[in-house]
Amino acid sequence: MKEKLENFHDIWNDKLFEEYKKTNKEKIVASFLASFSSNKPELRSGLSVFAIMQTLPDHEFVLREDQTLMRESPCAICSTAFGYPEELDSKDKESLNECIEEGGLIGHDLQDYYYYLYSFNNNKDKDFINVENEDIRIFSEILNILLNTNENDALKKEVLRRMKKIKGFKTRQEQSQVLLETLGYCSILETTKHKGLLKEYTNLAIAKRKTHSSDWRYPVDFWIGKDGINKDAFKFWFGDYKQLEKFWK
């Protein structure tokens, strides 16, 4: 029983990394950008997981030292449960599809990551995506809002309010929030103490939050206006788009 349950974690890990190898950074980024003028937030979802995969270790199940092995024991590295089912059922898939349609990542388990990348890789539309000038304009306006945030202001009410006023950008609060959280995973929105995932791994399932009641994900939960944009990280992701050059210069 132990071996069988442990293999479920390892199976998901292997499936995830196999799917990751099929992904293409250029298409992931182009899809993200093309989501703005098309009003298709689901096109943004792939980047959230792809960013996390930059530093997620390829690993077998690791039991925390303070735990006794049980079916629900979470992995010390990724927090995926030891006895998580081998396959996703229809309710799991339906729930994950709803999250993907919001444009960002909600859960933080290996199977969630896998399904996001699987959905992206099997979306035939990704091969016909064109980034339009309107996409660049909308994304630039979002970045300018972030850069003009008061030094001690967080991402919450004011930034979300201003994003809703961008011409041609249809978004709900939840969609704007997961968009900003994705930029956090990309290390574009991070702080000196609370880094994104580009160069160092953090188990997001148990990552710190600014307050116990916060519903924002790490690291953007800690971001305030004075933190600005990590220009090196921004160039890593969007350096192929000269129209955005001012944001990494």
Is pLDDT at 10 greater than 50 in this prediction?
Answer: yes
In terms of DSSP H, where are the helices of 23-89? 25-38, 45-52
- The pLDDT value recorded for residue 5 is 46
Q: Is the pLDDT confidence value at 154 over 90?
A: no
Q: How high is the mean pLDDT of the chain?
A: 91
- DSSP code for 164: T
At a CB cut-off of 8 Å and minimum separation 6, what does 51 contact? 182, 185, 186, 187, 196, 197, 198, 237
| CA-based torsion, 39, 127, 186, 88: positive or negative | positive
Residue pLDDT, tens place only, 204-220: 999 999 998 899 999 99
**Does the N-terminal peptide bond of residue 85 adopt cis geometry, omega within 30 degrees of 0?**
no
Q: Which of 58-72, 118-132, 159-173 has the highest mean pLDDT?
A: 159-173
Whole-angstrom distance, CA of residue 208 vs CA of residue 246: 32
Tokens of 111: 């199977």
30/91: higher pLDDT:
30
Express as a percent the part of the chain with pLDDT over 70: 93
